[in-house]
Structure 1
Amino acid sequence: MTSNRIVVVDDDYKIRELLKSYLEKNNYRVSVAADGESFLTDFRESASEVSLVVLDIMLPGQDGFSVCQKIRAVSDVPIIMLTANAEETDRVVGLEMGADDYIAKPFSPRELLARIKAIHRRYEPANVTPTDGGRYYRFGDHYLDTLERTLGRGSGAAETISGADFQLLRLFLDHAGEVLSRSYLMKATRGRDLGPLDRYLDVQISRLRTRLGDEGRASQLIKTVRGQGYVFTAEVERVHDKP
């Protein structure tokens, strides 16, 4: 990513200052906001300068879910949501609204830093060379542009997809026809083991199916293999020229 500016949005002064100090020591530029309204005002003017948002759910005024939704309406900047609620619902709702990851309070700054670095790696531009087979993946009437990170379908306009969705889709495309286990997908995309109650992968698969127009029980592109994982069923071709 070209920018290393992180914005921490949390109404707890101690958490804001702790994270600001820790991340700055690790060579990030950090801005802070105490509420969603002030953050959004600044973000509208400087979105292109922000490389990641750390967003608390429990904010005064607009909550973190609302702020996340408004960010996603104008930007695909990575978002890590903070939650003090142990309930699974908060995490699932955040992911469904487009957050890239979540972390439960209390947490160590070191753990947050590891999550930030992992997300930034996923958002780095893909290195595509002629030996890779081409810049584009073509499957059915869809295509994925690996340089622009856009997903297109037919003659319609292509849409930018987030780092998490891009990485998962590319993983499926590179292993089309193979059954990929849930644990493998979690490790490959998130860099951590899949917990017994972890819904992250389910939400991400659902989100990707929606992007592909492949929702519902009759999913044709990403099929669930009961007790094993998922398989991408379409024929995939790498091409140099835009389909």
Structure 2
Amino acid sequence: MNQAQNILIVEDNVDIRSLLDEYMTQAGFRTVAVESVENARLAIKQQDIALVLLDLGLPGEDGLALAREIKIGNKSGLIILTGRGEVVDRVVGLELGADDYIAKPYHLREVLARSRSVLRRLDGGGQSEEKGSMIKFGHWNFDLMRRTLVSTLDSHEIRLTTLEFQLLEAFLDNRSRVLSRERLLDLVTGRKWDPYDRAIDVQVARLRRKIEDDPRRPELIVTVRGEGYMFTPELTRN
């Protein structure tokens, strides 16, 4: 399946770009490697890009602008590549809907593993079919196959990003259980939690904005002070 998938690498450091390009090609992907936002836009227009590996620290135009366009304008996956200390960029990238992030310095095997994981989730891989393809909670119908929420009030449809989808699945599988940030991060991304890592808080806030009647006073995903989060509504699986 990988042979049919194109990965766009946007990285201004020629050595890192070449390493990523060669490694992902050897792993069976078709790769397009560019050094600027302008060339990335051109590649996205000309080819069917399944996944973008985006370094935010690009010269010239900010990589965050491209991240916003990728998540708004098409269905490509997006992994943010950031420096170890660039917490703000990571948070902003996740708020824009990035599917994952990897802090530099990173191992090429980690990039490959996370790329495959994002692509599997975008392709609908996982256990969704075994559990039932539709789950009702509150006034929402959650279609696991299509990764969409449909309101039972007005039929309004909402698409979820990969991380939002994984987070909601984790909550559904652990209804009425308090889940710590560490546990949620492990369930959603498989990475170890860092006390300064706000990835889960960002994704919870995004998800609340989509499913809560009043995100400032959440009733579906409640905060358990000092412990984490808990998903409270009754579920009906079809």
Q: Normalising by structure 2, report the TM-score.
A: 0.89
What residue is the counterpart of 2:186 in the other structure? 187
Are 2:149 and 1:151 aligned? yes
What residue is the counterpart of 1:64 in the other structure? 63
3-state SS, counterpart of residue 102 of structure 2: strand
Pairwise CA distance, 1:76: 3.8
Q: How is 1:28-43 mapped onto 2 (pairs within 5 angstroms)?
A: 28-43=29-44
Are 2:104 and 1:108 aligned? no
What residue is the counterpart of 1:26 in the other structure? 27
Pairwise CA distance, 1:225: 0.7
Instruction: Give the distance between the partners of 2:234 and 2:223, measured in 1 at CA.
Output: 17
The answer to whether the Cα contact below 8 Å between 2:212 and 2:220 also exists between their aligned partners in 1 is no
Provide, for residues 125-181 of structure 1, a one-character-per-residue CA deviation record: whole Å limited to 9, x for no partner: 15555x63x321111111111111111113233232122111111221222222222
Instruction: Give the distance between the partners of 1:210 and 1:230, measured in 2 at CA.
Output: 15
Instruction: Give the distance between the partners of 1:98 and 1:104, measured in 2 at CA.
Output: 17
Instruction: Give the distance between the partners of 1:173 and 1:84, measured in 2 at CA.
Output: 33
Instruction: Give the distance between the partners of 2:105 and 2:214, measured in 1 at CA.
Output: 36
Instruction: Give the distance between the partners of 1:110 and 1:74, measured in 2 at CA.
Output: 29
Name whichever of 4-13 and 103-112 sits farther off.
103-112
Pairwise CA distance, 1:85: 6.0
3-state SS, counterpart of residue 166 of structure 1: helix
CA RMSD across the alignment: 2.1
Shift in CA distance, 157/95, structure 1 to aligned 2, threshold 3 Å? same
The answer to whether the Cα contact below 8 Å between 2:221 and 2:230 also exists between their aligned partners in 1 is yes
Instruction: Give the distance between the partners of 2:136 and 2:70, measured in 1 at CA.
Output: 30
3-state SS, counterpart of residue 32 of structure 1: strand
Are 2:16 and 1:15 aligned? yes
Pairwise CA distance, 1:45: 4.1
Q: 1:140 aligns with which of 138, 141, 145?
A: 138
Identical residues among aligned pairs (%): 39
Instruction: Give the distance between the partners of 1:64 and 1:157, measured in 2 at CA.
Output: 32
- Which ranges in structure 1 are unaligned for 5 or more consecutive residues? none
Instruction: Give the distance between the partners of 1:15 and 1:207, measured in 2 at CA.
Output: 32
Pairwise CA distance, 1:62: 2.2
Instruction: Give the distance between the partners of 1:197 and 1:156, measured in 2 at CA.
Output: 39
Provide, for residues 65-85 of structure 1, a one-character-per-residue CA deviation record: whole Å limited to 9, x for no partner: 000011111124221112236
The answer to whether the Cα contact below 8 Å between 1:76 and 1:162 also exists between their aligned partners in 2 is no
Are 2:233 and 1:234 aligned? yes
Q: Normalising by structure 1, report the TM-score.
A: 0.88
The answer to whether the Cα contact below 8 Å between 2:209 and 2:215 also exists between their aligned partners in 1 is no
Pairwise CA distance, 1:215: 5.4
Name whichever of 101-110 and 23-32 sits farther off.
101-110
The answer to whether the Cα contact below 8 Å between 2:142 and 2:148 also exists between their aligned partners in 1 is yes
3-state SS, counterpart of residue 16 of structure 2: helix
